[in-house]
Amino acid sequence: MIAVSIILAFIALLAFIWGLKNKQFLDKDAFLNLNDSEEALNDAITLENRKKQALKKRALFLDRDGVINVDFSYVYERLEFVDGIFDLCKYFYDKAYLIIVITNQSGIGRGYFTKEQMQEFHLRIQNEFKKHNIEIKEFFVCPHTPDDNCECRKPKPKMILDAIKKYDIDENNCVFVGDKISDVQAAFAANIENIYLFTKDKLEQKNCKIIDDFNKIIKDFNA
């Protein structure tokens, strides 16, 4: 910062000397003074920060069971998609949002299915999305049980934060859709701007908007 101040002072001095040699520029409003230089530098820094922010990606974060596929409890074989999920994802995918899944899968830790079986299930989901011209960028998975007290299981935000860091995502321009309070808590802790709780239950919940139809999200963004 000291170096920048020295440079600005030097520029101001040169401008002053040049002004003395060119009388037509002696008007007080024509001089480039130190404050003007600092203001110009601050404007340049602000513009550069805006450019960097504009380059950041946006994402539609989705819980898996109960949002993408019907939750039959510890799902790894039976695949049935939730009504409207393809329309929702296509809407945001066409607007250049990354589609990222954030899911707790304690069935692995409980021994109900293996990691390989889960991956096969995810491949089936991805293939169906591809048929609708949608790419799921990545599944972020916590395989632990609540008793493991891990750092990644929702409502902790680690999986979301890992995705934000990996893909250089602007959390202030993202959407998270979950069907449990733990989803809302994780998204809020990760500073996600737009959080939706997908449920048919009549609830009052802070930090999110409760919906029972994905089309309501699309309407919000078309408003």
* CATH number (domain holding residue 160): 3.40.50.1000
Task: Verify that 137 and 189 share a domain, yes or no.
Answer: yes
> Is residue 29 annotated as a catalytic residue, yes or no?
no
Amino acid 25: pLDDT: 42
- Shared domain check, 193 and 217: yes
Whether 50 and 150 map to the same domain: the answer is: no
User: What is the reported pLDDT for 223?
Assistant: 73
| Helix 181-189 with 158-167: angle, nearest 10 deg | 50
What was the pLDDT predicted at 203? Answer: 78
Looking at 29, 65, 71, 212, which residue is catalytic? 65
**Of the residues 63, 147, 170, 183, which is catalytic?**
63
Q: What is the pTM of this model?
A: 0.76
The single residue listed with the structure tokens 């299981």 is 153
Range of the domain at 146: 57-222
Q: Is 65 among the residues known to form the active site?
A: yes
Which residues lie closer than 8 Å to 123 by C-beta, 6 or more apart?
A: none
Domain count, the chain: 2
Pair (96, 191) in one structural domain: yes
37 lies in the same domain as 63: no
Report mean pLDDT in 10-residue bins for the chain, 223 residues.
Answer: 50 50 47 58 55 72 98 97 98 98 98 98 98 98 97 98 97 96 97 96 87 97 86
